[in-house]
Structure formats: C-alpha cells, structure tokens
Amino acid sequence: MKFNIFIIGLSILPMLAFNQVKEEKNEAAEEGITLFNYAPTTVSSEAKAIINAFTSAESKPPMPAADAIEQWNIIQQQPEAATKDQMHALIVEWGLNVSALELGGTQVLDIKPKGWKDNGKVLVYTHGGAYVLFSAMSTIPISGSVAQATGFRIISIDYTLAPHAKWHQISDEIVAVFKELLKQGYTMNDIGLFGDSAGGGLASTTVLRLRNEGLGMPAAVVLYSPMADLTCPGESYQTLKATESMYDYELHMKSGFAAYADPIDQKNPYVSSVYGDFTKGYSPTLIQGGTKELLLSSFVRLYQAMDISGVDVRLDIYEGMPHVFQRYPIPESKIALNKVNDFFREHLER
C-alpha cells in the first residue's frame, strides 16, 4: 500500500510542477520576461538585474563558416577593440600588475594581484570563447577576479584562436607553457590550472595530455562551465535551449567547434575530455556551473566520468545562474570565488 501511494505521489508532482511553471511563465509574459531573461526569486537581486537585461541567444548574429578566415578575423577583432579601455580601467581599479611574456614560445599575460608576494605557486588560466573568441586581455574579469580572490600569480595563456590553429596546435601551445614553468623550477605541486567554458575544456584535456606524456599533473584544477564534449549530446541542449541567452548551438557553437576540431576528431579525449580515461589518475577537480545554461549536461557528464573513476572531484552547481556567472559582480560569484580560493589553497599549500 505504501509503495502504491509513493508512486501516485510521484505521478502528481510533475503535474503540480508544470502548473506552477505555467503560472510563472504567464506572469513573466505579462511583464515582458521570457525564459532567457527570467530570474527566479531564489537568486540575488544583483543577479536578477543582470539576468533581466539579457537578450535572446537566437537574436545574435550567426558565426561564420568554419573555414571563413577573413570573417573570423573581423569577428575576433571586435571584442578586443570594444573592451580594450574597459580592461585597462579594470586593471587599474583592481591594482593588478599585468605584463606580457612569452613562455615556451607561447604568448601569455603574467597577472599579479595587488600586494602580491611570491609564495612559489602559480595558477595557469585558459580562457573561454568557443575556441574562436577573446584573449588573455579581454578575459581579465575572470583571471583578475581569481588573482584577487586567491592572491596567487596567474599565467593567462594567449593561445592562437581557431581557425588560425587547430586543436593539436593549441594544445601544444598550452603544454609548452607548462614545460617552461617546470624548467623555471616550479613543480606540478606548485601549479594550479583553471579555465572557463571552452577554456575549461582546454584545461580538462590538458591534464590528460600532461599525464599521458609523463609530465605529471597540476596540483588542482578548477573548471567553470567546461565544454567537455564538442559533439554536444545531453538533455540540457534541448531542455535548456530557451533559457540560454549567450549562444545557440546551431548559430554560434557548431561552426566554431568545427573550426577548432574537425567533426571526425571531436571525440578525441584531447578535444572532448569526457571521453578520456580517468582511471589512470587525474588532478583534484572543482567544477562550477549554473542551472540556467545550455552546457549543464556537458559538465555534469564530465563530473560523472571523473567520479566513477575515483577522481577527487566536486560538482558545485548554482541555482538560476547563467553561463560563467563568476564574471559578474554578484553575491553568487563571491561565494563561488571563495570556494575556488579554498580549493586551490587546500591542494597547493600542502
């Protein structure tokens, strides 16, 4: 009898939830709010203000074909020019010491937080942008916020964007930075690695390659909303499509991913880390993300692949948060960054 009541209860819950969502959607529609800029009462007022200002992903212009080099050049230059003054202003506001270097033949930004004291530790950052956008400079809000939160020196890698380089060339550039840091006297126990979105994908695949090539593994890895599978299966790519304001798979991601890796290569573990063998060992990993983003299935699946293989991995999911929410000055970001600081200190200061 109890079993039957339990089953009936479960069958009613989806109906109640559907009615509640329907009522909320009707109220939201009356206020001009749709799913992509709908913020629930469960998030901070600061986050709600940001989310309410979002525009739909489908309203954004499509990305060029994978091999349209000249068009990619134009698109890649736009965010750099548009954010140049803002980034320099942010560097001054936060008191960051930023200098351009070359490590192992790869361009990087060396970022030190205000009042930095050399503790022999360093964090390596691989920026996001679907493998085709942004730079170490235009992603200062991510790298700089981690520098501030942790007090660690950051090496932000200015890898060559696709389609000007394919995945194996970009991977070589990132590995070259690690090799140079090791030459300079750092050990893997002194190095942390973090990345967001596509940069989270780069970070997660880099660990596999470093391990397989006998170079060791970073002491800790932090991944913001990582792109773990470029083929993009998973429930959230359908069920959360309407909630995603940043990008649409067909319009914005598919061609960029093809520019980075040919479809035949997209299940290579050095391209899509979810297909890697984690039973051979992997760095302790913290994965953070939000419930509002298209990539949710990607990093949940990555977490599961690591977890069942015995990796020390934590999945830290935030209610109502959009893609790479840590970039915004909101209370949820402060909570997430405090956890990032604790995680890196736990593993780098042993």
Show the beta-strand stretches assigned E in 9-120: 97-103, 106-112
Is residue 100 classed as helix, strand or coil in its secondary structure? Answer: strand
Show the beta-strand stretches assigned E in the chain: 97-103, 106-112, 122-126, 153-157, 191-196, 220-224, 285-290, 313-318
In angstroms, the CA 231 to CA 209 distance is 20
In angstroms, the CA 251 to CA 56 distance is 12
Structure-block tokens of residue 46: 């600061």
Sign of the C-alpha dihedral, residues 299, 305, 310, 311?
Answer: negative
CA 332 to each of CA 16, 48, 253, 335, 337: distance values in angstroms, whole numbers, following the listed order: 29, 11, 26, 5, 9
Do residues 289 and 225 lie in contact, with contact meaning Cβ atoms separated by under 8 Å?
A: yes
| Closest CA relative to residue 206, chosen from 215, 150, 197 | 215
* Residue 250 DSSP label: I
Do residues 289 and 318 lie in contact, with contact meaning Cβ atoms separated by under 8 Å?
A: yes
Domains and CATH numbers, the chain: 65-348 (3.40.50.1820)
Per-residue pLDDT at 18? 30
pLDDT in tens, the chain (350 residues): 222 322 223 232 232 333 333 344 444 444 568 999 999 999 999 999 999 999 999 999 999 999 999 999 999 999 999 999 999 999 999 999 999 999 999 999 999 999 999 999 999 999 999 999 999 999 999 999 999 999 999 999 999 999 999 999 999 999 999 999 999 999 999 999 999 999 999 999 999 999 999 999 999 999 999 999 999 999 999 999 999 999 999 999 999 999 999 999 999 999 999 999 999 999 999 999 999 999 999 999 999 999 999 999 999 999 999 999 999 999 999 999 999 999 999 999 87
Q: In what order do the strands lie in the sheet with 122-126?
A: 97-103, 106-112, 153-157, 122-126, 191-196, 220-224, 285-290, 313-318
